[in-house]
Amino acid sequence: MAWKKILYERQSYADNYVDHTFLDELKKNVNTHTYRFWPTVIESGVITQQLSSIVLFVAAFAFMNADKLSLKAVFLLSGTAAVLGYAAYRCICVSTATLPAISSFNVIEESQTKRSVTDDLKTAILFLALAYGLSPILHTLTESISTDTIYAMTAAMLFGNLVLYDYGPNAAMVSGTVSFNAAMFASVCIASRLATEWHTFATVTLAVEMFALMPILRRKLKARYGWHVQVGMTLLLNTAAFLSLCELYPPCAVIFLIIFIFITFGCPLWLIRIQPLKDNIHGPWDEASCDTEVPTHL
């Protein structure tokens, strides 16, 4: 008797018997995405942007430590950047809302909680008050810990921020919360090494701006305006980081440049080179998976 692929009738074969037509249902590389060079290069900008913002933060600390950057300059810069950035964010929100709402991206935005300007203002005041009130404590927090330990902890935390940052994929390792918290912990560690309490306050505020507010703005700009703005932001941030490293410690600037070229051009080339070697097999034996994810703006 021919074997039928059913279980509701008793057959003379074992329950887990398969015949020669089994492998006909094998499909290879069904969901593979073929990468093209230039779009991948543009997308890699996300990583380099985060890296350069970390570098800029550390450079700002180093300049403040060496008294090359005055406190007033830091306050002015961060204040104007925050105000301008927030204004830009609000404009983009408004202009996105008035677009013809076809793209699913708008649907996501509508469904998220609408934060009004008052909410954001309240958060900002809360944060500034907390940082200002805690800055005397923060200033003497790590006096009894050696400088090397502090630098090591800061470096580890910032590295954690870089690795665990939410670049976009739905991987298990990604954790926006942990990366932000690690960055804040690093900023507290390093801010306690500065001269006065105002310096500490400035560093913590700068850290919040660079690690919490700027990523939101960057994502918004990228979503709204596409790849031109993405390329522009990447070039701008990386040039700023490179120049500050040149000013600070030139060998580091060279290393930064090498890393930048590797991430931007080397990694996409490598990815495309090994993409044909991909050999995923799919078949009816796979676990069922629900496709409830909303397609991203890519």
Partner 1 sequence: MLLGIFLLWVLLRSPLLPTVADSVLFFAENLVRILQELLNWLMGVPAGLKLNVPLNFALGKFFLYHIYLWKGYIAILLMPNLAPLLLCIALVGIGGVSFQLSMLSDLMGLLTFHMYCFYVYAARLYFLMFYAVRSLFRLFRGKKWNVLRERVDSCSYDMDQLFAGSILFAVLLFLLPTVLMYYAVFTSLRVAVIVIQSTLSALIGFINSSPVYPVILWLRQAPATKGNIKYTILSSSQSNCIWLSMELETASLENILQHSFPACQERAARCTYFRPLLTSLLQGELVGSAGLFGKRDN
Binding site for partner 1 (CB under 8 A): 123, 126-127, 130-131, 134, 137-138, 140-145, 175, 177-178, 180-181, 184-185, 188-189, 204, 208, 212
Pairwise CA distance, residues 223 & 212, whole Å: 17
Cβ-based burial of 74 (10 A; exposed 0-12, middle 13-18, buried ≥19): buried
Taking the complex as a whole, the smallest distance from the CB of residue 185 to partner 1 amounts, in Å, to 5
Residue 98 vs 147, nearer CB to partner 1: 147
Nearer to partner 1, 120 or 259 (CB): 120
The smaller minimum CB distance to partner 1, of residues 64 and 188, is found at 188
Of the two residues 55 and 208, which places its CB atom closer to partner 1 in the complex?
Answer: 208
How far is Cα 103 from Cα 296, in angstroms, rounded to an integer?
Answer: 10
Which of residues 98 and 177 has its CB atom nearest to partner 1 in the complex? 177
Nearer to partner 1, 207 or 241 (CB): 207
Cα angle: 188, vertex 240, 43; to 5 degrees: 90
Report the nearest approach of partner 1 to the CB of residue 22 (Å).
40
Q: How far is the CB of 122 from partner 1 (least distance, A)?
A: 8
The residue (of 53 and 142) whose beta carbon lies closer to partner 1 is: 142
Give the number of other CB atoms < 10 A from CB of residue 60: 21
User: Can you give the C-alpha Rg of the chain in angstroms?
Assistant: 25
Q: How far is the CB of 186 from partner 1 (least distance, A)?
A: 9
Minimum CB–partner distance for residue 56 and partner 1 (Å): 20
Least distance in angstroms from the C-beta of 57 to partner 1: 15
Q: Classify residue 10 by burial, with Cβ atoms within 10 Å: 0-12, 13-18, 19+.
A: exposed
- Least Å distance, CB 174 to partner 1, is 11
| Terminal-to-terminal C-alpha distance of the chain | 52
* Cβ atoms within 10 Å of 21's Cβ, excluding its own: 9
CB of 177 to partner 1, least distance (A): 3
Residues with Cβ within 8 Å of residue 51, at least 6 apart in sequence: 162, 241, 259, 260, 263
Q: Per-residue DSSP letters for 154-217?
A: HHHHHHHHHHH---S---SS--HHHHHHHHHHHHHHHHTTSSSHHHHHHHHHHHHIIIIIHHHH
Residue among 236, 223, 184 at smallest CA distance from 207? 184
Q: Which is nearer to partner 1, 172 or 290 (CB)?
A: 172
